[in-house]
């Protein structure tokens, strides 16, 4: 029997696993997909919010500010790219300026530092490409950007390196109360644990109902994004928001830690929790609003578009509670990414307070995860040294992003290990560039086939039946 079973291996589940692996506990992380970071963690704005938007006194406010304060140190421990670029909320009218002043006051009550509201002239000194209709702005220097799926994979990998177990393709169908805990069932497996932690994202309400808890519901809120080529990455140096509404923080224009420019998201409540389509109407809305916020965006440089589903809870706040050894971590919409390390701390406090298991600190917990090699970022001397130690780093597989065979092999061999082409992409950026895998995909398949010990045509794009090759050309009728 495990001490802890965590349902959902997104960024929140990953950080909960990492936090609890600091203690003498037997932990298992259950994920229904074939890889970690496959839900909202894979498709979001990649922002570490400063914390001025959340309602004063809410869990969102408390955990956002704490998580934001923690994130730089956590990123350093986990070897994850992080940039405190600051964020800006722009206003287009006197009414918007009043909203910005309210946000500043709220942020200060939440404990956010260094907030200021400035005029257009002052704003142009730090962002020269700001939209023509912008008249004022709130500046939050503590806002930051990070790669959400890289952060999740690093947190899960660090938890695994410290003894936690990851079970993929474990789609929870039923949970039963047993003598000293719970039994969690998938279609053909089961796991017993003293404590179950529900980090199932948009499905967290359905997981809660399996133990008789119908106290909340979760809606999927669809958000559409556009990602522009690195050629556009320097258009702004801050994350540029517009005044928020009841549907969220609105469209943003932001650099990414990898040098691209990201635009979005829209906000649309939908019934189908699997509907990740992009729409002409949604992307038109992204283009129109982004152009109002920032001038000079070259939308022709878009290299991909995508949709993410946010987990919007019925209470308007994060839903984090414990009863009889069952922990809900639900309704974790924005600022969930920013709050993830603080949410994990809070969950550990709840478990310690309930006493179902004893939280005894380990002496051998290692918080540090060796960062992956990013060959393209090394100096010439550093590149030569790496190649001398491993010639596989001399073979460039992805020419758009300059990703080497050595980096891909390193990723395939590092926890949590990828099993498909998209898993390699998220870990190395191979196939994330201008050609979107047109050149490098066959080579990635070849490396996966060799490392996984499977036939070339059995390698998938994203697990399941997503086969890329049907077989050898002359053998297909």
List, for residues 182-237, the tens digit of each pLDDT value: 999 999 999 999 999 999 999 999 999 999 999 999 999 999 999 999 999 999 99
CATH topology agreement for domains 83-146+219-311 and 375-475: no
Give me the active site residues, please.
49
Judge contact between 91 and 137, C-beta under 8 A: yes
**Tokens, residue 88:** 């800006």
Q: In the structure, what pLDDT confidence band is assigned to residue 371 with cuts at 50, 70 and 90? A: confident
Judge contact between 444 and 430, C-beta under 8 A: yes
CB atoms within 10 A of CB 252: 26
CA gap 55, 60 in Å, rounded:
7
Q: How do residues 432-459 score in pLDDT, each as one tens digit?
A: 998 999 999 999 999 999 999 999 999 9
CA gap 200, 194 in Å, rounded:
18
Domain borders along the chain are 83-146+219-311, 375-475
Residue 370 Cα distances to 36, 78, 366, 367, angstroms: 19, 7, 11, 10
Mean pLDDT along residues 275-301 = 98
83-146+219-311 sits in which CATH class?
Answer: alpha beta
CA gap 357, 2 in Å, rounded:
11
Judge contact between 15 and 339, C-beta under 8 A: no
Q: pTM to 2 decimals?
A: 0.96
pLDDT at residue 473 tops 80:
no
Query: Which residue has tokens 């990828």?
Result: 418
Instruction: List all residues 6 or more positions away from 255 whose beta carbon is below 8 Å from its beta carbon.
Output: 83, 85, 145, 233, 234, 235, 236, 237, 239, 261, 262
pLDDT at residue 475 tops 80:
no
Q: Please give the DSSP secondary-structure letter assigned to residue 210.
A: T
Nearest to 416 by CA among 41, 159, 134: 159
> What topology is assigned to 375-475 in CATH?
Arc Repressor Mutant, subunit A (1.10.10)
């Amino acid at each position: 029997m495990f001490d802890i079973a965590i349902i959902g291996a997104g960024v929140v589940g990953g950080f909960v696993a990492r936090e609890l692996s600091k203690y003498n506990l037997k932990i298992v992380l259950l994920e229904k997909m074939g890889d970690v970071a496959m839900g909202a963690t894979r498709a979001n704005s990649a922002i570490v919010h400063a914390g001025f938007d959340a309602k004063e006194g809410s869990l969102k406010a408390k955990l956002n500010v704490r998580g934001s304060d923690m994130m730089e140190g956590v990123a350093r421990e986990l070897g994850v790219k992080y940039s405190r670029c600051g964020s800006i909320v722009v206003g287009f009218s006197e009414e918007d300026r009043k909203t910005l002043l309210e946000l500043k006051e709220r942020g200060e009550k939440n404990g956010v530092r260094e907030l200021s509201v400035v005029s257009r002239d002052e704003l142009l000194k730090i962002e020269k490409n700001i939209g023509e209709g912008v008249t004022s702005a709130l500046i939050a220097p503590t806002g930051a950007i990070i790669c959400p799926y890289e952060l999740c994979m690093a947190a899960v990998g660090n938890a695994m390196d410290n003894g936690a177990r990851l079970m993929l393709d474990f789609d929870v169908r039923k949970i039963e109360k047993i003598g000293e805990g719970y039994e969690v069932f998938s279609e053909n497996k089961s796991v017993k644990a003293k404590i179950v932690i529900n980090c199932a994202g948009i499905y967290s309400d359905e997981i809660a109902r399996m133990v008789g808890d119908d106290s909340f519901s979760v809606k999927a809120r669809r958000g559409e994004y556009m990602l522009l080529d690195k050629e556009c990455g320097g258009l702004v140096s801050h994350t540029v928001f517009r005044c928020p509404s009841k549907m969220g923080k609105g469209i943003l224009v932001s650099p990414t830690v990898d040098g691209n420019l990201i635009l979005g998201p829209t906000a649309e409540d939908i019934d189908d929790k699997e509907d990740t389509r992009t729409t002409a109407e949604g992307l038109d809305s992204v283009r129109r609003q982004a152009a109002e916020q920032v001038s000079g965006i070259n939308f022709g440089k878009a290299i991909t578009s995508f949709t993410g589903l946010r987990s919007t809870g019925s209470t308007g706040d994060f839903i984090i509670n414990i009863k009889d050894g069952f922990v809900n971590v639900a309704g974790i919409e924005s600022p969930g990414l920013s709050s993830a390390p603080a949410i994990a701390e809070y969950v550990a406090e709840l478990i310690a307070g309930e006493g179902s298991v004893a939280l005894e600190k380990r002496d051998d917990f290692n918080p540090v995860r060796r960062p992956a090699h990013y060959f393209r970022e090394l100096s010439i001397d550093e590149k030569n040294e790496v190649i001398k130690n491993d010639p596989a780093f001399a073979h460039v597989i992805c020419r758009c992003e300059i990703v080497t065979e050595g980096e891909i092999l390193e990723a395939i061999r590092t926890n949590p290990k990828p099993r498909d082409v998209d898993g390699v992409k998220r870990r190395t950026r191979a196939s994330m560039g201008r050609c979107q895998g047109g050149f490098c995909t066959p080579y990635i398949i070849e490396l996966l086939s060799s490392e996984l010990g499977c036939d070339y045509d059995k390698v998938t794009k994203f697990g399941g039946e997503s086969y890329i090759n049907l077989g050898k050309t002359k053998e297909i009728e």
